[in-house]
Amino acid sequence: MTDDNSLEIQIQDKSVTIPGKRIVFDDPMPLDSGIELGPIEVSYQTYGTLNAAKNNAIVICHALTGDQFVSETHPITQKPGWWAMMVGPGKPVDTDKYFVICSSVIGGCMGSTGPVSVDPKTNKPYGLNFPVITIGDMVRAQKRLVESLGIKKLFCVIGGSMGGMQVLQWAVSYPEMVFAAIPIATAPRHTAQNIAFHEVGRQAIMADPNWCHGAYLEEEKVPRAGLSVARMTAHVTYLSEPALHRKFGRRLQDRTNLTYGFDADFQVESYLRHQGFTFVERFDANSYLYITRAMDYFDLAEEHNGMLANAFKDSPVRFCVISFSSDWLFPTSANREIVHALNAVAADVSFVEVQSDAGHDAFLLKEPGFHETVDGFIKGCAERWFNGQGAGTGAGEGLRL
């Protein structure tokens, strides 16, 4: 069952109607935890047109705090889509040529089934009764969506950070459905440091009295302070020290002298407080707990007897792995680990480290070298794909470049 007009979502203590598409799967979906979840609703957006051969589809996987609104004005924040610089007519992910799909991950709060959704067994929000989900579960739901659209094989799957984890999971779990994969600023597993930062954020949320042991929706409260601190902590990890220094330095915020108190004397303090405040208005606290946990549990090597290369054995997928020189959250060394594993099994892989001082968030910014890399790789793959080398439609059918 689909609804291509609008969907109602719960953001904190408000019910909001947003434009969008959704599909409901009545059959329960098995989760990696061993539990079955159902029915499952997946909210998504599409851009461009699916061709007659249904072979020009690109799936975009969003990061931790992203959503399905990739390339249009966000209905809640009224800001441009989070990847509007990358996706659109004439852009590297060209919506004049490709049919782009991006869904909100399960466990999130933008329409796909998550902790804010109503549990059919109780007619109350799931809250902490929602089962723990994994990156694999997110991708399993995306696969259902893709298949429901009549698409048998994707031209490309692309995403950064947690989105890059999903790209890797797509390529490992469903290699027969993926022609090309672009994992960006990501890793095959979360490090102890990554997990530690996430735990600080989770503890900030759970320490907020308004969290109410996860039942804040029923109590009509919002753990604003805890979620805001979680966002502030995480946001620091997305930036580099040079970027912070360039943008803020030690400049004061709307004052010429120190106050000798605990107001936001420095611009960087004011910036982080603003980030936390605005985040609370568009994200759910329990969803933050569940999605960060899914990232913590991600470990492709562990799933393949401790050998990352085993995950990619005999893979037909063409990979382009991209890192950023100043990213210390998912550093180049972590991305190179993916490349080395792919090389070990003679997979088709290219690798680019983009020089940037913007830190982890560089994949969301206007970085010419990054955009040129994505554009070049997609065009190179398209020449092979749409000339009959893997599209499954025969030479001469489908897209013309």
Whole-angstrom CA distances from 115 to 28, 85, 112, 118, 181 are: 16, 31, 10, 8, 30
Q: Is residue 231 a contact partner of residue 279, using CB atoms and an 8 Å limit?
A: yes
- Rounded CA-CA distance 58/146 in Å is 10
Give residues with Cβ within 8 angstroms of 356, minimum separation 6.
324, 325, 326, 362, 365, 367, 369, 370
Q: How far is CA 207 from the centre of its chain?
A: 26
How far apart, in Å, are the Cα atoms of 349 and each of 44, 178, 248? 29, 14, 38
Rounded to an integer, what distance in angstroms lies between the CA atom of residue 317 and that of residue 175?
6
Biggest CA pair distance of the chain: 72
**133 neighbors 108 (Cβ within 8 angstroms):** no
Quote the CA–CA distance of 342 and 349 in Å, as a whole number. Answer: 7
* Residue 2 contacts residue 21 (beta carbons within 8 Å): yes
- CA dist 208 to 90, 205, 362, Å? 46, 5, 32
Task: Please give the torsion angle defined by the CA atoms of residues 266, 268, 270 and 274, in that order, rounded to the nearest 10 degrees.
Answer: 180
Q: Which active-site residues does the annotation give?
A: 161, 327, 360
